[in-house]
A and B are shown apart, each in its own frame.
Chain A
């Protein structure tokens, strides 16, 4: 197993969108820090709690230069120019500044720099880049950094879920019930029915919700690794993070977690085929939309010659060679296209009731 971890090689195309998202998040944090510098001033001139010796805290001028460098590095990461060194440098500078002031420490920022560092060890620079190199390079690369990033995702879920499990206030729903009660007016103002808010704040419901949240985090940490459960775990985790983002102030935590789900995408470049009939509306639509939204390059999309025989607008040929049409083909597209993925489970469930439908997670 260690030898496989050490020597595994895989197609790096799926890491391009992950890298671009991490670049955007790095840029967002760097620009936020720059905005604070402009509005509030240099943090070192006021109350701050360094975790490193005060002598290692940058001067105002150096801090400004570091922020400018972080913005530039984030752009390089996002557009794929010297992306891997830029990721490592961004992570180093970000971690350094986190250590300079405990007040500015947030788990999502620390996680971001950890992931940036780990991503710099992967072949994440082989796709989604602004310029192609003059000499084509192989898309494949060493996969051990990706495995390490996957382990880090699981570790974060385990630490978060485990600490909640060990805390009686969390386990019994006290934390959630109080949180819901205190934010009830905000939820009602946003249009959530009064009855729903009251129901969620009930001790028994809050306790059940807390246990569900803990279980979600602990199950995700393992289910993301197993092929039969991975797609379901990704879908469940996606909605879990959407809910967290909608109900809490978590900076970019949920966006970061969802971006890192990309490292669990199987690295099989265009292993599925999508054939569409360009003479039909749905076929034409799929032929235009799927290539544009297929960020992980799951499909080889090609039209077929229209004929006068009655047929289908689209046919998806899965990795195992099985063909899917109609709602089953749409379920396959939803499974593979990130923007449609939130809809995957209900569509797949609906498709399972068709004559040739199944509820397995075969892709």
Chain B
């Protein structure tokens, strides 16, 4: 006999209650996984074979008020700081290395939609945390994400950070400094 019949003693009905609560919670999390971009708690393993390729840009403003996109190679750029010197800044100061690299096709972990949502959050975080005292030039960050969903033709998504605050008015700003990248009008 593998297991024994019920043991003597008072019935432990709390076990049934705990089991029911556990199963209802788990089933609810699985059924509602679609509502979360990353499908968290839904046990959807290997849901896609999509890839993403990232290209980061800074958006600067010239004296005549035009916007200029400057490509940021390898996530590193140099900008004029409030003390008049140029500071070297990097995406990886805010977003640690294991998550993303630039200009290289990467597996879109947990799917393309998850990566787009996380990248938008990372871009917003970057814009919020690069201090004006380190970078007086960048108005906002732009991320071009080339998504290839399950081997299909690539589609480029343009993610844009909010405008940075605390920067001087562009009309009084000198010409932007962009030694690390190629200017794209």
Contacts from A to B (Cβ < 8 Å) = 2-11, 36, 40-41, 43, 46-47, 49, 51, 102-103, 105, 107, 110-111, 114, 118, 121, 140, 142-144, 147-148, 151-152, 155-156, 158-160, 163-164, 167, 169-170, 174-179, 181-182, 248, 250, 253, 266-268
Q: Are A7 and B96 in contact (CB under 8 A)?
A: no
Residues of A near B65 (CB, < 8 A) are none
Q: A8-B3, A46-B95, A103-B118 are in contact. Are A111 and B43 (CB under 8 A)?
A: yes
Q: Are A46 and B94 in contact (CB under 8 A)?
A: yes
Q: Is B169 an interface residue (CB 8 A)?
A: no
Residues of A near B5 (CB, < 8 A) are 4, 7
Question: Which of A9, A111, A159, A175 is within 8 Å of B150, CB to CB?
Answer: A175
30 pairs, A vs B, C-beta closer than 8 Å: A3-B6, A4-B6, A5-B19, A6-B6, A6-B15, A6-B16, A7-B6, A10-B4, A40-B97, A46-B94, A102-B118, A110-B41, A142-B12, A148-B19, A148-B23, A152-B26, A155-B23, A155-B43, A159-B30, A160-B45, A163-B33, A163-B43, A163-B44, A169-B150, A174-B151, A175-B46, A179-B49, A248-B46, A253-B45, A267-B3
Q: Are B42 and A159 in contact (CB under 8 A)?
A: yes
Q: Are A268 and B19 in contact (CB under 8 A)?
A: no
Q: Is B27 an interface residue (CB 8 A)?
A: yes
CB distance from B150 to the nearest CB of A (A): 5
Contacts from B to A (Cβ < 8 Å) = 1-7, 11-13, 15-16, 18-19, 22-23, 26-27, 30, 33, 38-49, 51, 93-99, 107, 118, 121-122, 125-126, 150-151
Residues of B near A163 (CB, < 8 A) are 33, 39, 42-44, 47
Q: Are B23 and A6 in contact (CB under 8 A)?
A: no
CB distance from A183 to the nearest CB of B (A): 9
CB distance from A119 to the nearest CB of B (A): 13
Q: Are A40 and B98 in contact (CB under 8 A)?
A: yes
CA distance A144 to B19 in the complex (A): 8
CB distance from B159 to the nearest CB of A (A): 14
CB distance from B7 to the nearest CB of A (A): 5
CA distance A266 to B1 in the complex (A): 10
CB distance from A101 to the nearest CB of B (A): 11
Q: A152-B26, A159-B43, A178-B150 are in contact. Are A47 and B6 (CB under 8 A)?
A: no
Known: A6-B11, A163-B33, A169-B48. 6 other contacts (CB 8 A): A10-B4, A46-B96, A51-B40, A107-B45, A159-B44, A160-B43
Q: A10-B4, A103-B118 are in contact. Are A144 and B46 (CB under 8 A)?
A: no
Q: Are B2 and A178 in contact (CB under 8 A)?
A: no
